[in-house]
Amino acid sequence: MTRLRWPLYAGIVVASLLLAFVVRDVARDVLITPAAYLLWELRTIYLAVPQLAKWFLLVLLLCVAVLWQLIPEMETSNRGRLPVQPAHGQVEILAGWIARARRGNYFKWQLANRLGRISRRLDELSGARSSDAAPANDVEAYLSAGINRSFVDFPNSRYPFQHNPPTALDLDPARVVDYLESHTEVASDRQAQSL
């Protein structure tokens, strides 16, 4: 590969030398002469300004620069500050997980794991499950998949247009939430009757 680079570089140098020789008159007329004329005009304008005005402008710019550094309240930009994001509550976070659950099995498993942990905590608080509040088989499979399995047990399909095989995570989370609500109502009824 390095053997091919040297002839390429040499060819580029020879071509640019030939091109510079051919277009030197055009470059002089189009680029060099107008640039030299512009510089000559700027020099003439600079020499026409009195020396006192130049010094006054320089001192004024120096004073503004020093004052700008001494008084930081004059700065109006908020470049260094990041916008403060409002804190999200538990309900908002759970709603975000439900919305993301439509995108893939990982988010579905995350939601199932969260609901499974809530179900386990409710069981701990209310004692063992009663037979009248036992979940349906699909709800039980959903909660078990969230707690006892990992998201890698539910891989996505390899190809973008291929459908994923059905899993326990495909259950509508609203059914699980309804079960959890009814489970808490049954537990609170039992506690009220025991009092």
Query: Each residue of 99-129: pLDDT tens digit?
Result: 777 777 778 888 888 888 888 888 887 765 5
For residue 81, report the phi and psi dihedrals to the nearest 5 degrees.
-95, 135
pLDDT at residue 130 tops 80: no
- Residue 195's pLDDT is what? 41
Per DSSP, the chain holds a count of helices (H) and strands (E) of 8, 0
CB-based burial, 163-194: b 16+ in 10 Å, e otherwise: eeeebbbebebeebeebbeebeeebeeeeeee
Mean predicted confidence (pLDDT) in 53-80: 80
Mean predicted confidence (pLDDT) in 44-61: 94
pLDDT at residue 34 tops 90: yes
Nearest Cα to Cα of residue 147 among 175, 169, 179 = 169
CB 97 within 8 A of CB 110: yes
Distance CA 142, CA 156 (A): 17
Token pair of 171 as six digits: 């259950």
